[in-house]
Amino acid sequence: MKTIDVDRSLCDNHGQCAIAAPAVFRMNSDGVLEYEETFDDALLDEVEEAVDVCPVQAIFLKD
């Protein structure tokens, strides 16, 4: 398992992470990000992709 930390002071709710890794990130009906704080290693590729596509680099991965 790995851990995700989203810096809410940076997050601007672009929603790109929810496209890259929908199993972990989603936008609620107010357009605000909700996410799983831990995820299975099998999802690492798509979560790394979500980190990459965040326009404000608000997503951090931890072991």
Partner 1 sequence: MTRRIIVAGASLGGLRAAEQLRAAGWEEEIVVVGDEAHPPYNRPPLSKELLAAPGGFDEALASVLLRQRRSATGIQWRLGAAVVRADLAARTLTLAGGGQLAWDGLVAATGLRPARVQAPGPLPGRHVVRTLDDALGLHRELKPGLRAVVVGAGFIGCEVAATATSLGCRVTLIEGSGGPMERPLGARLSAGVRRFLQERGIHCLPGQRVSAFTGTGRCTGVRLADGTEVAADVVIEAVGSHPNTEWLDGNGLDLADGVLCDEWLRAVGAGQALPHVVAVGDLARYPDRRTGTGPRRVEHWATPADTAKIAAPALVAGVNGTPVPEPAAPLPSFWTDLFKIRIQGVGSPALAEQTEVFEGDPARPEDGVALGYYRAGRLIGAVTAALPADRQLHYRRLVTEAGLPADSRLAAV
Question: Which position among 7, 37, 40, 52 is part of the footprint of partner 1 (CB under 8 A)?
Answer: 52
Q: Are 37 and 3 in contact (CB under 8 A)?
A: yes
Taking the alpha carbons of 19, 36, 30, 12 in that order, is the dihedral positive or negative?
Answer: negative
Using CB under 8 A as the binding rule, whether residue 30 contacts partner 1 is answered as yes
- What values do phi and psi take at 19, rounded to 5? -80, -45
Using CB under 8 A as the binding rule, whether residue 15 contacts partner 1 is answered as yes
Using CB under 8 A as the binding rule, whether residue 11 contacts partner 1 is answered as no
Binding region for partner 1 (CB under 8 A): 13-16, 18-19, 27-33, 48, 51-53, 55, 57, 61
